[in-house]
Amino acid sequence: MDEIGFDMAQHGARRVLILTDPRINELGIPARVADSLARYGISSEIFDGVHVEPTDDSMDKAVELRP
């Protein structure tokens, strides 16, 4: 997981949306991913409104995060 910044940089990523659920977010895993991305100059945002079986509403909310 700590190498994801390197991996994404190899693909030319500049912005990443990290999708997760509230429980995984509480564990700090998405923050570790965001930190790894930031070390390679990649901006990211965490969306923790995902469900096991995503609803249309949760997907709409994730899409609304796009600039």
Query: Looking only at Cα atoms, what is the longest distance across the chain?
Result: 33
pLDDT value of position 64: 84
The amino acid sitting at 18 is: I
pLDDT value of residue 66: 67
Which residues form the domain of 15? 4-63
Answer yes or no: are the C-beta atoms of 48 and 20 closer than 8 Å. yes
pLDDT reported for residue 30: 97
- Please give the structure tokens belonging to residue 62: 């994730």
Tell me: pLDDT of 22 over 90. yes
Work out the average pLDDT over 10-31.
95
> How many domains in the chain?
1
